[in-house]
Amino acid sequence: MTGSNKTTYVAEAGLVSPSLTWETVVSKNIGLDITTLNQRLDFSFDAFTRDTKDMLTNVTLPELLGTTAPQANAADLRTTGWELSATWHDVIGKDWRYGINLALSDNEAKITKYNNPTGSLNEFYEGQVLGEIWGYVTEGIFQEDSEVAAHADQANLGANWRAGDIMYKDLNGDKKINPGSNTLADPGDRQIIGYSNPHFSYGINPDLSYKNWTLNVFFQGLFRDYLPENGNWKAFYPYNAGHVENYYITESWSEDNRDAYFAAPTIGTNTKKNIHPQSRYVQNGAYIRLKNLTLNYNLPTGWISKIGLSSASVYFAGQNLWEATKMHKPLDPEVEYNNNTGLERNDLTQEYYFQRTFSLGVKVSF
Amino acid sequence: MKKNILKISFIVFATLLMVSCNDEFLERQPLDAIINETFWNTENDLKVYNNGLYNMAKDDINVTIMMGHHNGFDSQWAGYEYLDGYSDNTAPIEPRGLRFATVRAGIHQVPNDAQDFGWRGWNFLRAINVGMDNYAKAQVTDAVRNKYIGEARLFRGWFYADKVQKFGDVTWVDHELQIDSPELDSPRTPRADVMEKVLLDLNFACDNLPSAQKVEGDPGRFNKWVALAVKSRVCLFEGTWRKYHGVADANKWLTEAASAAKLLIETGPYKLYTSSDLAHAYNFTHRALDLSGNPEVIYWRKYATGVETNHFQSYHAGYVGGATKDAVEDYLCTDGLPISLSPLYKGDEVFENIFENRDPRLRQTILHPEDQPYYTYGNHPYNTYTYPRIRGQVGGRNSTTGYHIIKVYENVAASAAYNVSTSPAITLRLAEAMLNYAEAVAELGTLTQADLDMTVNKLRARVGMPSLMLNPQMDPRYASWGVSSNIVEIRRERRIELFMEGFRYDDLRRWKLGKKLEVKSYGMRWDAANQSRFDPDKKATIKTATLDGVPYLDVYQGTDYANPKFDEAKHYLWPIPINSISQNPALGQNPGWGN
């Protein structure tokens, strides 16, 4: 621009695929539904495979193409999984009723066809299980400068290695730590270090009532791995964003804290040498959380009808009251995945944690 | 009757079933959008299409050929005045400058994906080639058509030259690629073949672009002189690269560089900006807020409020770090001799003395303490803070070396609110073409006094320096380069005149002087006297190193950049990203960067 207004321009058109067609989905499932033991037990089980043929997907081509490759019917995907649900309810005597519902499911999706002759890890490849996490294997933290010289050359991952830095494992034994050619055949010193796909998602929902009292509880959880991102401003890794957390100080390596979880601090957000994707920081994202608890008391109708009410109850309810997970604080197993797409992770600095909520209420109807 | 109606209805329906619509009926062009199939008709279509190329070229991170100031936040590093951070000219240390410091220290690694300024910009190449595939469709005369083809080819030749300079061999593409094009899986095209194509592109541009300096109502388009300036730059790089890296045909390229530059200097409408105010005649152009009418500027990028703005001045003053001792010591004394030979040099014991009897461009590049009021450097009254100031000291502006750069400093923009400034960017100016010419003929061995007088000596006269006479005394510091004293002095002139305009790193690479980057980045003398004078509270955080018994600031001491390395077998070219190779293994990696 050398005038004082923006000049009008048009841009070149993108590419379109000459051969787009419809996806084909073939689902097969087998199920079993049982109600038995005098209708006290409901049980249902469903196993399925779903084959998506000619799945419309983004295709990665060499950047020399100069534009985004058009979507193509490039992949076949097979999803296999099962779902199980069981409910038991019964009464004891006249006043006690109880029940429990269990839901459990699992699935895995695998690429069964994709044209990636070089086996580039930058795109899909045949046999890929969705959710694979690739990374280095951490051997430990260098405790002495002398260990650096004795270890495989890590020059490809950063400069000036010294005590307090991460020691990466030389998986292929070539005395050098590097990403190889980033292909299946030559992933360098990286391997699959976890699976971010959820496994064994479950819900447990018991309820119990005695006379006018009802207690309803809901637990949920699953099993998965989670590797925090290492981009600038992602605050899980110490000093990778513009602020300081207490654990950066207490859990970073120093000569007085040799058993630390994190490497010795380096200044600046540009060197990632100690936070390359690696096994040390893969989080066990399995969790169980008490999502909901409700205790309800229905006032006896004999009392309330006298004051013209048809029903009235007092209740206490709580959300997110308790959880158990092995993830490093302050990561939260649900928040990390709880954005719109459900696939990409939020970054730690900008998330809102679940709140523990307690409520006490009265419900009346006339 | 009722039966008949039913019958007729059935026949009509059956007929409809049998007549299928033909394909042409289904192939409809949209009526509310511009599409490729119907677009290319008039001259205006060609012009508006090419405007898109100019627009893409302003993305300095992606298309680095005519780098200006990036808009907004990225103007803290994506601009030509930062590029000397790759070299021995400046010493940035703020995190935004570390990309430069990393390359300068030789600790950059093979990236996973294309880096800023690196293996990217292919969308720009595609846009050029889409144009090349379609310009022929327009109903215009060949002269008109060739003007727009000339713009596209200048862009393409310039783009490829930049890629070759960084990566060596690069796949040549001169048409729009499809998803199954063989180029996607091909090995890279050898450097020599690419450069032949580049020369054809640049020559076409020189021959077909208009010679009018500018066209009213249609500003900012390339003209013949832009093409010649680019050609002299590209050919000088290629010629000297070949000469010093042992590749054939160096002289052909040097000759092309010299002839393009000469044509521009002798017949072009441009001349150096001069002023009777010798003390600011040099840096006036670089500090100006408006370059229209500046006779020296061949091509520049304008910024305007509400259209395209930058925050360059504010960021730059902090993030550039400071000039190095090595650069400051390269300025000649007023007798035309280097400090290693001149009796006029007063040493660096007293800070102000480094400016005494020196090339006036030094004081127009580096802040003299007494010049603070003239530049309102740091946006405060005189004496609020004294200069130089070192990183760690509080208040005013500080530097990493003590050598604050004021060549481009303009206080209004440097103190303005975020991203409201319209500081212009110089893409091409005549001084460079003059230096290109002098160097090319010197390398060809045909340099005459007349050549020096029409180039280097014009630059010197502008600031009141004595002329360079043929075959000067050799500066002993550069005797080991093995080149003539003429070439030594022309290279020095280039470093001084073009300081911080983004040439130094490329120059050292083409001269095969990468070892020069192993000299650490030192700053000012930091002995007890200077320390107590400039930093009595001992707040400076930069460490010192002792050279010949005298302590100097050692900018990167204690950091990852402390010991710069330059591997002759590796560092002249940048590495190809791993993911590019994993998708097309035929690309291959550059020497020394393999695993």
pLDDT tens readout for residues A3-38: 556 778 888 888 887 778 888 999 999 999 999 888
Residue B9: what pLDDT? 60
- CA B166, distance to chain mean position in Å, is 12
Res. B229: pLDDT tops 60: yes
Q: Which of A33-37, A115-119, B29-33, B273-277 has the least mean pLDDT?
A: B29-33
Across residues B366-391, what is the average pLDDT? 94
**Cβ contact A157–B112 (<8 Å):** no
d(CA B201, CA B182): 23
Residue B307: what pLDDT? 87
Residue B7: what pLDDT? 64
Q: What does DSSP assign to residue B31?
A: S
Res. A56: pLDDT tops 90: no
Q: Which of A90-94, B204-208, B488-492, B527-531 has the least mean pLDDT?
A: A90-94
**Cβ contact A11–B307 (<8 Å):** no
Q: Is the CB of B125 inside 8 Å of chain A's CB atoms?
A: yes
B 219-248: CB under 8 A from A: 219-220
Res. B97: pLDDT tops 80: no
User: Of B271, B461, B478, which Cα lies nearest the Cα of B361?
Assistant: B461
pLDDT tens readout for residues B272-318: 999 999 999 999 999 999 999 999 999 999 999 888 899 999 999 88
**Cβ contact B131–A188 (<8 Å):** no
Q: Is the CB of B289 inside 8 Å of chain A's CB atoms?
A: no
Rounded percentage of chain A residues whose pLDDT exceeds 70: 92
How many A/B residue pairs have CB atoms within 8 Å?
A: 157
**Cβ contact B179–A15 (<8 Å):** yes
Structure-token match 């944690």, residue found: A353
- Contact by Cβ (8 Å): A189, A172: yes
* CA distance, residue A100 to nearest chain B CA (Å): 51
CA atoms within 13 A on the CB side of B323: 27
Residue A228: what pLDDT? 85
Res. A42: pLDDT tops 80: yes
Maximum Cα interatomic distance, chain A, rounded to a whole number of Å: 90
**Cβ contact B582–A10 (<8 Å):** no
CA atoms within 13 A on the CB side of B529: 7
- CA B351, distance to chain mean position in Å, is 31
Residue count of chain B: 595
Res. A258: pLDDT tops 70: yes
Q: Is the CB of B77 inside 8 Å of chain A's CB atoms?
A: no
Nearest chain B Cα to A65, which residue?
A: B177
- Contact by Cβ (8 Å): B112, B579: yes
d(CA A106, CA B179): 37
Res. B134: pLDDT tops 90: yes
Residue B22: what pLDDT? 54
d(CA B381, CA B403): 20
- Contact by Cβ (8 Å): B324, B521: yes
Res. B25: pLDDT tops 80: no
Q: Is the CB of B116 inside 8 Å of chain A's CB atoms?
A: no
Res. B4: pLDDT tops 90: no
Candidate from B300, B308, B583 with C-beta closest to A118: B583
Across residues B550-559, what is the average pLDDT? 94
Across residues B237-242, what is the average pLDDT? 98
Is A10 strand, coil or helix?
A: coil
B 557-576: CB under 8 A from A: 559-560, 562
**Cβ contact A6–B173 (<8 Å):** no
Residue A352: what pLDDT? 57
**Cβ contact B112–A6 (<8 Å):** no
B 195-224: CB under 8 A from A: 219-220
Q: Which of A44-58, A240-254, B67-81, B515-529 has the least mean pLDDT?
A: A240-254
d(CA A252, CA A236): 12
**Cβ contact B171–A13 (<8 Å):** no
* CA distance, residue B273 to nearest chain A CA (Å): 20
Residue A344: what pLDDT? 42
Candidate from A2, A64, A181 with C-beta closest to B173: A64
Alpha carbon distances (Å) from A94 to A90, A187, A209, A210, B569? 11, 66, 11, 9, 89
**Cβ contact A7–B54 (<8 Å):** yes
User: Of B270, B423, B311, B301, which Cα lies nearest the Cα of B54?
Assistant: B301
* Chain mean pLDDT for chain B: 93
Q: Could you tell me the pLDDT band of residue A340, with boundaries at 50, 70 and 90?
A: very low
Across residues B455-480, what is the average pLDDT? 97
Contacting residues for A131 by C-beta, under 8 A, at least 6 apart = A109, A195, A196, A197, A224
- Contact by Cβ (8 Å): B403, B195: no
